[in-house]
Structure 1
Amino acid sequence: MSTNKTKKLPILEDIRGAKYPLKSQLAIGGQGVVYTTELPQVLIKGFTNKDEIAKKRWHSHIEWLIRQDIADLKLARPLVLLKEPRMGYVMELMDGLVPLRSLLDSYIEATDSISEENQTPHIQNYLDQGGLRRRIRILCQLARTINQLHSRGMLYGDISPDNIFVSDDPNYSETWLIDCDNISFESHSGLTVHTPDYGASEVVRGEAMLSSLTDCWSFAVIAYQLLTHNHPLKGDLVNDGEPEIEDEALRGEHPWINDPDDPDNECCANLPIQLIEESKLPHLFQQTFGTGKNMPLERPSMAEWLEALTEIDEHLFVCHNCGGHSLLPLDNSDLDDISCSFCDFAVDEQLVQFEEFIFLSDKEKQETYPELDGNKIVTGRKVCLQPGDKKELKRLLPSFSYDKIPSDPIQLEYSDSCLMVIPVEPLHISRGNEHIQEFSKKIRLKADNRGKSNEPYCIHLGNPQDTHIFWEFRW
């Protein structure tokens, strides 16, 4: 009789003398392995390449990375190197996170038993994993982190579902990047390492190094995969063809699956893009996988992705029948005509919709918009609230304001009993033909008073006499 003994993992020591008892292997890649430790939220990354030149180069790079000012980003960054001869470093990562890959894999497992007559399993799995809202918020956090790196002249390098960690609870969307070894200044990258399926076509072809443009490509692939559960380059042509066709597709030699001009590689198993059609995302995907496939400079920046994703999060509403999240149509203000994208259930009657407008001063209207009927310009932005929601009416321009402005001027809290409008700075409010009044304290609108007047409220940001933004809503 033979017995299998579990190999006891060693206790490692860093260059400062602190010790770390290893607990279990968390992840493994081509040149490294990540372990959990007996210490809460502390991980060890080991470098496994045996080449002496590669080891020296890696060691020097990690020393440089430890000195960089990136502590405010959601990165499991290197904190301290291990004591030689060990090659590795210590990093911290909050508990309760799992690789994004596990979310994608669980969806694939749920679809194995689907028949043409019954599409319920994959839709239910999509909803059980947090639905559209959780996916959008995961992508928002990921886009913000990469955008912050790019704004500092850095690139991440090898973005894939294996090095993105998210909350294991579908009710949360905490998102961190864990493998920081390839972070570098863009001008000193010199790297071509990439995870299969996620490398930009020019990198796969061996024609370019990693850059912020290749980060944008990898992000777009992950975003499309997370939202639709299909790879944007792997349609029916690839999935039903020989292996070399897949290689050609990843090199950018075939159309992407939603190419409007070439349907040869369309995908019949794709989750409907209609889930996000009331947004800028379809255009950004086309920019990336259409014109940007072989012209990297045409790809959207991470700031553009961040802005588009934030706008989606603002006008998602939850269905009280199936629990799914759908997008509020931007061109339809009649809530009676809106229903859930998953089960066609009517929209929540308690939903409150805020619409953004630009008010033009009389002088600017005469000088710039003389043909305009009135002083009001529709921006197209909408924010919806349901009981239990807390939101801010965000300033979206410029895009980098997400990282610079700690709090936006209007905060909203909606409960079954009232809607609270909370100004962070003094603002002005009006209703119908009423006089515009300044307010600096909370305004509490009781649920019992809702619907007693058809006149909308207007919240003005800035001097009401000058050109300014205002938000309109009915109560």
Structure 2
Amino acid sequence: MSQRFNEYVDEYQNVHIQDKVLGQGGQGVVFRTKDPDLAIKLVTDESGTPVTDEESVERYSKRFKRVRLLPLPENLNISVPAALLQNNAGYVMQLLSEMVPFSHFWLDGKSAENIGIDDIPAWLSAMPENEAKKIVHYYRTGGLRRRLHALYKCASLLARLHGNGMVYGDISPNNIFISEGLDDSAVWLIDADNIRFEITAGGGVVYTPKYGAPELMQGTDGGRPQSDCHAFAVVSFYLLSMLHPFNGQYVENGGGGWDSSEADKVLEKDPVIMERLRGIKEAQEWSWEETYAYSGYIPYVDDPADDSNSSTHCLPRSLLLTEKLTTLFEGTFGPGRTSPLLRPTIYHWPEALAQAADMTVTCPGCSMNYYYDFIHPETEDHNCPYCKKQRPQVLILESYRWNGPDKPINSPCWRYVREIPQGTELTIPRRIFDEFAMLDSDTAEVLISSSNNGILIKKSDHGKADLSVAADSHPQSGFQKLYSQMKIDRVTPDVQFWMFAHLNSPRLVKCMISGGGK
């Protein structure tokens, strides 16, 4: 490395010049290079100094080479080592330009400076300025919908990895990247050198403090899929609610409201764990309350059986979590907190997160997202829970499994809701018309646009479904096959029509355009 120019040479004699730092932790630092699609992971010691001694460089190089030999699934968005560095413990990896870490979803000092007093809307005026800025930043970075969709994509990556028998190891907001533009939602994992096959004990276990599973912090188990599930759930809860799932009143009040003697009794029986936690506490400069909470000895903030660590801070979870997501969080942080095998597997998360994202609408008044079926208690109508503005005109698709004309239609298996202003075109993904599949559920199947004259339905260039359409206003005509596009007359503001799709599993889809109200 040239100290003067921050140059790094890889094993193929390519020279890389350091650009801005993307993230830094206990394991090392990741920074972009002057090549916009490449980044470098540089291993550092405890003081933050790059590791350059020959023996350590050789040891890390062998580890990075093993990662390149792992049987990773094809087309998996994980930035693996592309070239090892010379004279430094580190490697070059692909990282597309215009991608940012999940940590950008949280308000930092620079983002706070970009939010002035005039940027805080009236409905947030009663809040402390810093808390109001957090919510402004929340909707400026895509709100609830973008966070749910990003987490669904991340969970899909982890599910494919777990399906091949491997564990990611160090899930944290700095290791998950998303496209910077709000119109793109590609998600990548970096820091792939921790990927390994499942281990029950031994080896170097790596995790990020506050996100690591209790068994990793306590040193009682090795890296397993269940450990990934805990870390992913912490990232998800924190990202959606802006509240760490274990940072409740017990932590804030210095242990008040919970009898920590129970944790003390457990730790006294195992001095090895106690000494390990003491080392973590000192290294992280935590209080004992924080150490107990983050290492799995304290209930989580929404534990239905124990409210001693509850919290009403940040956004209300009742506005953020569907019933399925609530069940997953309770399973992970409730029984799964002390028994890793009781945690829901990662395979439950992608579908639950995608379903939640698909049921959100964006308020035209305050830009916050909320679930389309929310009824405001004051108006008893479909109004925004934040600013009370009426729900905008929305397209609601309800997808039913079709088992034949003589079989009853049960509850919808999927709902897709989007605001549909006049003149806009919505892209309807494949998951509305077929069983949910992680690999292609986002693929465009149909395009729908609305105007004063009618509704235009077009097949996507990527569409595979055999589609037919029927308008409620012309039931006698029945279903007509959709070859390219079809127009449905708009007699009233509220329109209803039907689509029938045949892919792997037939679907009858009820389509409604509604301007709001009950």
Residue identity opposite 2:78 in structure 1: L
| Structure 2 residue 468 is the aligned partner of structure 1 residue 428 | yes
Tell me the distance in 1 between the aligned counterparts of 2:450 and 2:23.
43
- Report deviation, 1:153: 1.6
User: Which residue of 486, 496, 500 corresponds with 1:444?
Assistant: 486
1:472 corresponds to: 510
- Report deviation, 1:452: 7.8
Tell me the distance in 1 between the aligned counterparts of 2:502 and 2:456.
22
SS at match of 2:151: helix
**Is the Cα contact below 8 Å between 2:84 and 2:90 reproduced in 1?**
yes
Deviations 1:48-90 (A, max 9, x none): 355877644432221122234456222222111123x332211
**Is the Cα contact below 8 Å between 2:73 and 2:160 reproduced in 1?**
no
Tell me the distance in 2 between the aligned counterparts of 1:396 and 1:286.
30
User: Which residue of 79, 103, 118 corresponds with 2:127?
Assistant: 118
Residues 222/452 of structure 1: CA separation in 2 closer, same or farther (3 Å cut): closer
Residue identity opposite 1:325 in structure 2: N
Tell me the distance in 2 between the aligned counterparts of 1:62 and 1:27.
19
Residues 63/406 of structure 1: CA separation in 2 closer, same or farther (3 Å cut): same
| Structure 2 residue 356 is the aligned partner of structure 1 residue 320 | no
Tell me the distance in 2 between the aligned counterparts of 1:275 and 1:393.
27
Tell me the distance in 2 between the aligned counterparts of 1:311 and 1:328.
12
**Is the Cα contact below 8 Å between 1:66 and 1:78 reproduced in 2?**
yes
Deviations 1:86-135 (A, max 9, x none): 32211121122333223324399599x99994264443232222211121
Aligned length: 450
Tell me the distance in 2 between the aligned counterparts of 1:393 and 1:378.
19
**Is the Cα contact below 8 Å between 2:102 and 2:178 reproduced in 1?**
yes
- Report deviation, 1:393: 4.4
**Pairing 1:336-375 to 2, within 5 Å after superposition:** 337-349=381-393, 351-361=394-404, 365=407, 375=408
**Pairing 1:66-215 to 2, within 5 Å after superposition:** 66-68=68-70, 69=72, 72-83=75-86, 85-106=87-108, 117-118=126-127, 120-170=132-182, 172-187=184-199, 190-215=203-228
Residues 419/428 of structure 1: CA separation in 2 closer, same or farther (3 Å cut): closer
Residues 407/227 of structure 1: CA separation in 2 closer, same or farther (3 Å cut): closer
**Is the Cα contact below 8 Å between 1:155 and 1:215 reproduced in 2?**
yes
- Report deviation, 1:238: 0.9
2:30 corresponds to: 34
2:298 corresponds to: 254
Question: Structure 2: any 5+ residue segments left out of the alignment?
Answer: 46-50, 256-286, 514-518
Deviations 1:393-431 (A, max 9, x none): 4169865x22267847x4233254633242633233334
Residue identity opposite 1:91 in structure 2: M
**Is the Cα contact below 8 Å between 1:356 and 1:470 reproduced in 2?**
yes
1:371 corresponds to: none
Tell me the distance in 1 between the aligned counterparts of 2:500 and 2:54.
64
Tell me the distance in 2 between the aligned counterparts of 1:452 and 1:250.
52
Answer with 430-439 or 302-311: which moved more: 430-439
Residue identity opposite 2:154 in structure 1: L
Identity among equivalent positions (%) equals: 28
**Is the Cα contact below 8 Å between 2:56 and 2:89 reproduced in 1?**
no
Tell me the distance in 1 between the aligned counterparts of 2:159 and 2:502.
29
Tell me the distance in 2 between the aligned counterparts of 1:70 and 1:43.
22
Alpha-carbon RMSD across the aligned residues, in angstroms, is: 3.5
| Structure 2 residue 240 is the aligned partner of structure 1 residue 227 | yes
| Structure 2 residue 209 is the aligned partner of structure 1 residue 217 | no
- Report deviation, 1:220: 0.5
SS at match of 2:8: strand
Residues 452/38 of structure 1: CA separation in 2 closer, same or farther (3 Å cut): closer
**Is the Cα contact below 8 Å between 1:33 and 1:48 reproduced in 2?**
yes
Residues 167/293 of structure 1: CA separation in 2 closer, same or farther (3 Å cut): same
1:379 corresponds to: 412
**Is the Cα contact below 8 Å between 1:44 and 1:88 reproduced in 2?**
yes
**Is the Cα contact below 8 Å between 1:392 and 1:412 reproduced in 2?**
no
SS at match of 1:263: coil
| Structure 2 residue 507 is the aligned partner of structure 1 residue 461 | no
Residue identity opposite 2:240 in structure 1: L
| Structure 2 residue 272 is the aligned partner of structure 1 residue 270 | no
SS at match of 1:123: helix
1:302 corresponds to: 346
Residue identity opposite 2:90 in structure 1: G
**TM-score where L is the length of structure 2:** 0.77
Tell me the distance in 1 between the aligned counterparts of 2:235 and 2:433.
24
Residue identity opposite 1:118 in structure 2: M
**TM-score where L is the length of structure 1:** 0.83
